[in-house]
Amino acid sequence: MAGYDTNPFADPVDVNPFQDPSVTQITTSGHGNIEEFNPFSENTHLTTTNQKTVPVQPVMPSQPAVLQPSMEPSPQAVAMAAQAGLLQQQEELDRKAAEIERKEKEMRNVNINLRQNNWPPLPPKCPIKPCFYQDFSADIPADYQRTCKMLYYLWMLHSFTLLLNLLACLAYFTQNSNGGVDFGLSILWFIMFTPCAFVCWYRPVYKAFRSDSSFNFFLFFFIFICQIVIYIIQAVGIPHWGDSGWIIALTMTSTNIAVAVIMMVVASFFTVCAVFSLFLLKKVHSLYRRTGASFQRAQEEFSQGVLTNRTVQNAATGAATAAARGAFQDN
């Protein structure tokens, strides 16, 4: 009952808080492990025996921020670079153009050397040079080469027949004093018809086959039909026309058989030329229809050839100038 004996109104007993067992235990046991800490010292570290020392990395002094310069070029620099690029491209194009022009000149010179005129075949020492270039394998397509060669052989037969006609008329003149006219005309026909046949109907058909020219086809047809008519007249042999045809050859049978036989041979050659010409005319016409040529194309080729011809241009310019001058003088 001691508890009840205490005076509740008495002063409480002074209690020292540092006497608490938990406090005293900490203060007595941990005092040796705690070092004196000075918060104002830079080298002071709070260390314990149970912790490892962590080295402090030195702090790099801060540097002021530097603005990087802009890498975008100025408009003037861009324009100068573009101009330099264009100049370089222009120089490259000029160099290539010069190279192409040089090669074209070389090829042109080669073509000129390769396509030198080779007809008629004359010796190099001859003062007269060839006038035409002729090469069937190079100029004429394979489908037309055979026909073109046959026309060339026809022209050779034509020339040989005119030469025989000259000799036959000479033989006729030796037996008949009135045959001087025929002999003179036979010389004229040989001199005139031999080159004219080559230029007027053989070369046009050669060009027509070479370049598929409608104008040359029509020119060949027109002149070759006239040539066939001439062959028929020569084969008939009208007296005093300069031809050893059948009529004049038969009239010589009663006078001189040898001369008559010679003239009959020439009349046979004229007949063969006429028949062979009709066959080739039909052959060329069939090839012409397969090429797609037409009269309209021939007109266009003719007009283009006339307009681009330097001689025609000069003549037209001279005529126009003279007309204008006359008009001004009249005024």
**d(Cα 104, Cα 102) in Å, to the nearest integer?**
5
Spatial neighbors of 30 by CB under 8 A, at least 6 apart, are none
Based on the fold, state whether residues 153 and 287 are members of the same structural domain: yes
Based on the fold, state whether residues 109 and 220 are members of the same structural domain: no
At which of 133, 153, 186 does a domain end?
Answer: 133
Instruction: Provide the residue range defining the domain that includes 114.
Output: 103-133
Based on the fold, state whether residues 224 and 148 are members of the same structural domain: yes
Q: Specify the pLDDT at position 41.
A: 54
Task: Tell me the longest C-alpha to C-alpha distance in the chain.
Answer: 207
Nearest to 138 by CA among 122, 121, 115: 115
Based on the fold, state whether residues 154 and 213 are members of the same structural domain: yes
Residue 274 located in a structural domain? yes
Structure tokens at 174: 């030796």
Q: Is 185 exposed, middle or buried (0-12, 13-18, 19+ CB in 10 A)?
A: middle
Average pLDDT, rounded, for the chain:
78
Based on the fold, state whether residues 157 and 272 are members of the same structural domain: yes
Residue 257 — very low, low, confident or very high, per pLDDT cuts 50/70/90? Answer: very high
Q: What is the pLDDT of residues 267-308, one digit of tens each?
A: 999 999 999 999 999 999 998 888 766 556 666 766 665 555
Based on the fold, state whether residues 216 and 126 are members of the same structural domain: no
**pLDDT surpasses 80 at 39:** no
Q: What is the pLDDT of residues 205-215, one digit of tens each?
A: 999 999 888 88
pTM of the predicted model, to two decimals? 0.61
Number of domains composing the chain: 2
Residue 22 located in a structural domain? no
Based on the fold, state whether residues 209 and 240 are members of the same structural domain: yes
Based on the fold, state whether residues 147 and 124 are members of the same structural domain: no
Based on the fold, state whether residues 259 and 279 are members of the same structural domain: yes
Residue 322 — very low, low, confident or very high, per pLDDT cuts 50/70/90? Answer: low
Nearest to 243 by CA among 280, 268, 277: 268
Spatial neighbors of 166 by CB under 8 A, at least 6 apart, are 183, 186, 187, 189, 190
At which of 133, 153, 183 does a domain end?
Answer: 133
**pLDDT surpasses 90 at 6:** no
Residue 87 located in a structural domain? no
Task: For the chain, count helices (H), then strands (E).
Answer: 12, 0
Residue 250 located in a structural domain? yes
Residue 56 located in a structural domain? no
Q: What is the pLDDT of residues 127-168, one digit of tens each?
A: 888 889 999 998 999 989 999 999 999 999 999 999 999 999
Residue 150 located in a structural domain? yes
The most confident of the ranges 54-68, 107-121, 294-308 is 107-121
Q: What is the pLDDT of residues 160-194, one digit of tens each?
A: 999 999 999 999 999 988 889 999 999 999 999 99
